[in-house]
Amino acid sequence: MSEDFVNKMADLKEEEVLALTKKRLAAGEDPNKILADNTAAMAIVGKRFAGGEYFLPELVFSGELLKEVMALVTPHLKESSAKTKKLGKVVIGTVAGDIHDIGLNIVEFMLDVNGFEVTNLGVDVPVEKFVKAVHDINPPVLGLSGFLTPAFDAMKETVEALEKAGLRKNLKIMIGGGQMDDEVRKYAKADAYGKDAMAAVTLSKQWIGAK
């Protein structure tokens, strides 16, 4: 692992990181090592975000930076690149009637850098799509996002549909976003309300049993 590279990336030094990436690739370094450094750097970004040192702008920019590095590295990757072991599966999505995705994407990012295998169903997800995803993917954790007050009912309907489909028993459901709080959690019969993206990580770890 190149400590210098990881730190520069975590500090969001765009030009230096891109120059270093090119240099490492030109020197014939194993691109998988760069990928491992990416992961390490993103974990630091995630930590700084959770600690209140980084905010949305840093998170978004780190994502941009990652994309740029990946664009350089991908042509050099062989198919056999080692897959890292994931902690567990989490399915997330913004409920029906709501197209807000900023919070949803932060949660995806934070879960991903903390080692979860995330399936992001996107926005305005109909109840049936959640049911199908939970049925097909069988995740231990489902995250419902919503920004507006109509999402209260959409969340409730989603949870009820999962109950009806017999998929609720081994599933933990967390909710978050805009006007959500613990009152809504009770109303929608979810298991927990998380006030920010880090809460989604903490809850998932707690439920999946990872430390």
Partner 1 sequence: MEKKWTELTPDEKREQRFRRWLSPPGVTFASPQAEKLYKERVTRFSKAFTLQKPDRVPCILPSMGLYAAYYAGTNLATVMYDFDEMKRAWRKVLHEFDADTFVPPVLVPPGPSLDAVDYKLYKWPGHGLTRSTLSYQAVEGEYMKADEYDALIRDPSDFWLRTYLPRVFGALKGFTQLPSWTSFEEIVTGNFLPFANPEVQAGFNAMAKAGMESLKWIAAVGEISAEALAMGFPGVMSALAKAPFDTLGDTLRGTQGIMTDIFRQPEKVHAAMERIAPIAINNALSSVAMAAAPIVMMPLHKGADSFMSVKQYETFYWPTFKKVVMAFVNEGIVPVLFAEGSYNKRLDIIGDFPKGTVAWYFDQTDIFEAKKKIGNRCCIMGNVPSSLIMTGTPQQVKEHCRKLIEVCGQGGGYVLAGGANVDEGNPENMRAMMEAAKEYGKY
CB of 58 to partner 1, least distance (A): 8
Which one of residues 33, 47, 89, 100 is an interface residue with partner 1 (CB under 8 A)?
A: 100
Q: Does 19 bind partner 1 (CB under 8 A)?
A: no
**Does position 179 bind partner 1 by CB under 8 A?**
yes
CA distance 4 to 81: 23
Q: How far is the CB of 21 from partner 1 (least distance, A)?
A: 17
Burial 97-109 (b: 16+ CB within 10 A, else e): bbebbebbbbbbb
- Among residues 86 and 186, whose Cβ is nearest to partner 1? 186
Q: How far is the C-alpha of 190 from the C-alpha of 173, rounded, in Å?
A: 5
Residue 175: beta bridge partners?
Answer: 144, 193
Shortest CB 167 distance to partner 1, Å: 23
Beta strands in 35-171, from DSSP E residues, in sequence order: 89-94, 117-120, 141-145
Minimum gap (Å) between residue 136 Cβ and partner 1 = 24
- Nearest CB to partner 1, comparing residues 36 and 50: 50
Beta bridge partners of 91: 119, 142
CB-CB contact of 103 with 93 (8 Å): no
**103-142: which residues touch partner 1 (CB under 8 A)?**
124
Cβ nearer to partner 1, comparing 3 with 15: 15
Contact residue for partner 1 among 163, 164, 183, 210 (CB under 8 A): 183
